[in-house]
Structure 1
Amino acid sequence: MKRAAEYGLNGWVKNTDCGRVEGEAQGPEETIQKFLKDINNGPRHAHVVKLEQKTLDAKEHEGHFGLRKTSATVFESL
């Protein structure tokens, strides 16, 4: 969430009940690519096993990057 906010992206992120982290991010393509590279490395104390990405239709977001409550996955198999 911190990195997305630094890049000025819109969207959300959350933890899931099964231990995954999921989210959506919107912004300029170049910025999204930098963001994906950063999250593939993960924060200092994280262990990223695999980054999966899928292009989705744009949705209306609140104009910022937010945190959602932990819940079941919202994505079908990527």
Structure 2
Amino acid sequence: MEKRFRLCFYGIVQGVGFRYTARHAANMYRLTGYVKNEYDGSVTCEVQGDEKAISRFVETIRNGRFIDISSIDRRELEIVPDERSFDVR
């Protein structure tokens, strides 16, 4: 079932290739949305697609080489119709 979540990642998530790992994982699992760095050192990601694929997406990022996620805030959002890609902002 298709879902959309806003995920806010905290920990060592900037300067470690997080956004590019997220883009690669999103493409691998055919997800859409975006990822961007925040001024407080966190990373925000909106991701849309199959719920199981989103779980695998998060696990792929969590296993990134230098990425150390201490916590994730997760909020379900409305689906964005016609979204076609996953962007790094």
TM-score normalised to the size of structure 2?
Answer: 0.66
Name which of structure 1's ranges 21-30 and 56-65 shifts more when overlaid on structure 2. 56-65
- RMSD (Å) for aligned C-alpha atoms: 1.6
Percent of aligned pairs with the same residue? 31
Tell me the distance in 2 between the aligned counterparts of 1:57 and 1:7.
20
Q: Which residue of 1 aligns with 2:49?
A: 27
Q: Which runs of 4+ in 1 moved over 6 A?
A: none
How far has the Cα of 1:36 moved from its partner? Answer: 2.3
Map 1:1-78; keep pairs closer than 5 Å: 1-39=23-61, 41-60=62-81, 62-68=83-89
Instruction: Indicate conservation of the 8 Å contact 1:10/1:61, yes or no.
Output: no
- 5+ long unaligned stretches in structure 2: 1-22
Instruction: Indicate conservation of the 8 Å contact 1:14/1:22, yes or no.
Output: yes
Higher strand share: 2
Tell me the distance in 2 between the aligned counterparts of 1:16 and 1:54.
17
TM-score normalised to the size of structure 1?
Answer: 0.74
Kindly provide the CA deviation profile for residues 8-55 of structure 1, in whole angstroms up to 9, marking residues without a partner as x: 10000000111101010111122112112323x241011111122111
How far has the Cα of 1:5 moved from its partner? Answer: 1.4
